[in-house]
Structure 1
Amino acid sequence: MPSPQQARAQASAITSGKTVPEAEAAPTSQLRELFDGPRLSPGQRRIAQYLIDHITEAAFLSITDLAERVGVSQPSVTRFAGAVGFSGYPALRERLQSIALRTLAGGTGAATEHRSNELQAAVDAEIENLENLRRDFADPDRVIWIGRELSQSSPLTVLGLRISVSLAEYFAYAARRIHPDVRLVTRGGSVAYDALLQSREAGGTWVLAFGMPRHAQETLTAIRVARTAGLRVALVTDQALGALADEADVTFSTGIGSRLVFDTYAAPGLMAAALLQAMTDADPERTQARLEDYEQVAEEHQFFLKD
Structure 2
Amino acid sequence: MPSPQQARAQASAITSGKAAPEAEAAPVSQIRTLFDRPRLSPGQRRIAQYLIEHLTEAAFLSITDLAERVGVSQPSVTRFAAAVGFSGYPALREKLQAIALGTFSGTAAEENHGNELQSAVDAEIENLENLRRDFANPDQVIEIGRNLSSSVPLTVLGLRISASLAEYFGYAARRIHPDVRLVTRGGSIAYDALLQARAAGGSWVLAFSMPRHAQETLAAVRVAREAGLRVALITDLALGAVADEADLTLATGTGSRLVFDSYAAPGLMAAAVLQAMTDADPERTHGRLDEYEQISEQHQFFLRD
- Measured against the shorter chain, the TM-score band is 0.5 to 0.7
2:147 maps to what in 1?
A: 149
For 1:78-103, what per-residue CA distance to the aligned partner results, in whole angstroms no more than 9, with x for missing partners?
xxxxxxxxxxxxxxxxxxxxxxxxxx
Aligned equivalents of 2:243, 2:113: Cα separation in 1: 35
The one-letter code of the counterpart of 2:118 is Q
For 1:7-66, what per-residue CA distance to the aligned partner results, in whole angstroms no more than 9, with x for missing partners?
xxxxxxxxxxxxxxxxxxxxxxxxxxxxxxxxxxxxxxxxxxxxxxxxxxxxxxxxxxxx
- From 190, 195, 199, the equivalent of 1:201 is 199
2:235 corresponds to 1:237: yes
The one-letter code of the counterpart of 1:173 is Y
2:162 corresponds to 1:170: no
Secondary structure of the residue that 1:127 maps to in structure 2?
helix
- Equivalent pairs counted in the alignment come to 196
Structure 1 residue 115: Cα displacement: 4.9
* RMSD over equivalenced CA pairs, Å: 1.3
For 1:214-255, what per-residue CA distance to the aligned partner results, in whole angstroms no more than 9, with x for missing partners?
100010000000000000000000111000100000111100
2:190 maps to what in 1?
A: 192
Q: How do residues 112-123 of structure 1 correspond to structure 2 at under 5 angstroms?
A: 115-123=113-121
1:256 maps to what in 2?
A: 254
Aligned equivalents of 1:284, 1:194: Cα separation in 2: 32
Aligned equivalents of 1:260, 1:242: Cα separation in 2: 23
Give percent identity, aligned residues only: 81
Structure 1 residue 116: Cα displacement: 1.5
Aligned equivalents of 1:171, 1:156: Cα separation in 2: 11
- Radius of gyration: which is bigger? 2
1:274 maps to what in 2?
A: 272
- From 120, 125, 128, the equivalent of 1:127 is 125
Structure 1 residue 286: Cα displacement: 0.4
1:77 maps to what in 2?
A: none
Aligned equivalents of 1:246, 1:114: Cα separation in 2: 39
Q: TM-score, normalised by structure 1?
A: 0.63
2:6 maps to what in 1?
A: none
Q: How do residues 266-305 of structure 1 correspond to structure 2 at under 5 angstroms?
A: 266-305=264-303
Aligned equivalents of 2:152, 2:257: Cα separation in 1: 39
Structure 2 unmatched runs, 5+: 1-110
> Could you tell me whether the CA contact under 8 Å between 1:115 and 1:121 is conserved in 2?
no
Runs of 4+ displaced beyond 2 Å:
none
Q: TM-score, normalised by structure 2?
A: 0.63
